[in-house]
Amino acid sequence: MSDRSWFVAANSQQQGPYPEAQFRDFVARGMVVANTLVWTEGMAGWQKAGEIPGLLSRTASAPTLPQSGGLRAHGTGYGGGPLSIEVGLWALLGRSLLLAIGTILVVPAPWAATGFYRWIVSCLRVPDRPNLAFTGNVADIWYVFVAIGLLTYSRATGISYLPFVLIPVQAFLSWMILRWVAANFSSNGNQLPIAFEGSALIYVGWYVLMFLSVFTIIGWAWVITAMMRWICRNVSGTQREIVFNASGLEILWRTLVFAIGCAFLIPIPWVLRWYASWYVSQFALVE
């Protein structure tokens, strides 16, 4: 445990990383208390120090470091750190069901999707970006969501190969949604100059590769990892770099646990929130 690094939220700033010994000193001095938000590798998201079993009592006897090594503000700069999400157990399940039902019914799809994105973005916690909101409107790309709803009935046509032929179309529609979502973030009521500039052709290529990798049984997890990192590299307008830290193996076993939990129906709300919280925490901002 001594080689861990900690991030601390102080003065409305995300600060760190701090070595374990220095973090213990902050606790011993009372600079990190029960209500202080902290994060270290392996945690799903930011958490109050007092809610982590044994954390405060374990560090109470830590050695004291010089005062100059204490917490400091970053001034007008922006700190890094992982993203997190705060969603209610039943709220996430209910919103996800509304999105699925709206898509199947086709006509309500634009309203269901826009409402879902507004809600989920409001639950995101991004370092140094308070009161995050989604500003997209139903009328922006309503036809995309209608098209996605219609594509769900491709199997009902009786043409066995049609769903496979339509995979590139689904990929292109997904690319349009990604661009739309990225361009409609605001913080404290101010529109953020974020944009996704990844090529549609390359995105479709990744999407098709992801579909083909399913036939390798486990290869899809590594394809998704590489695709997420490519997407992060093609987001512009941020003052910090966006990275995706999950490995293919981590995605593989967690997705399998999620699928098994859903197969038993009853655990769905719990595994859905667990999986969503972990996935979001794998995105981070770095200087």
> Which pLDDT belongs to residue 127?
87
> Which pLDDT belongs to residue 78?
58
> Looking at the DSSP assignment, which residues form a beta bridge with residue 77?
none
Q: In whole angstroms, what is the distance from residue 116 CA to residue 135 CA?
A: 12
On the question of pLDDT at 76 being above 50, the answer is: no
Name the percent of the chain lying above pLDDT 70: 89
> Which pLDDT belongs to residue 10?
67
On the question of pLDDT at 262 being above 70, the answer is: yes
Type of residue found at 24? R
Within the chain, residue ranges assigned H as helices are 20-28, 55-59, 89-105, 109-122, 142-151, 162-165, 167-182, 200-213, 219-233, 248-263, 268-281
On the question of pLDDT at 72 being above 50, the answer is: no
Q: What is the mean pLDDT of residues 87-102?
A: 96
Peptide bond preceding 110: is omega within 30 degrees of 0, i.e. cis? no
On the question of pLDDT at 202 being above 80, the answer is: yes
Q: What is the mean pLDDT of residues 102-130?
A: 95
> Which pLDDT belongs to residue 69?
42
Q: What is the mean pLDDT of residues 107-120?
A: 98
Digit-coded pLDDT (tens) for 52-67:
877 776 544 444 444 4
Domains, the chain, in order of start with CATH, read 5-77 (3.30.1490), 84-286 (no CATH)
The residue with tokens 């101010």 is 190
Digit-coded pLDDT (tens) for 137-187:
999 999 999 999 999 999 888 888 999 999 999 999 999 999 999 999 998
Is the distance from CB of 115 to CB of 69 less than 8 angstroms?
no
> Which pLDDT belongs to residue 58?
52
Q: What is the mean pLDDT of residues 258-277?
A: 96
> Which pLDDT belongs to residue 55?
79
On the question of pLDDT at 75 being above 50, the answer is: no
Q: Which helix (H) or strand (E) holds 81?
A: strand 81-82
> In this structure, what is the dihedral angle of CA atoms 214, 219, 223, 226, given to the nearest 10 degrees?
170
> In this structure, what is the dihedral angle of CA atoms 216, 274, 82, 28, given to the nearest 10 degrees?
-130
Q: Which helix (H) or strand (E) holds 5?
A: strand 5-10
Rounded to the nearest integer, the mean pLDDT of the chain is 87
Question: Given phi > 0 = left and psi -120 to 50 = alpha, else beta, which region is 266?
Answer: alpha
On the question of pLDDT at 91 being above 80, the answer is: yes
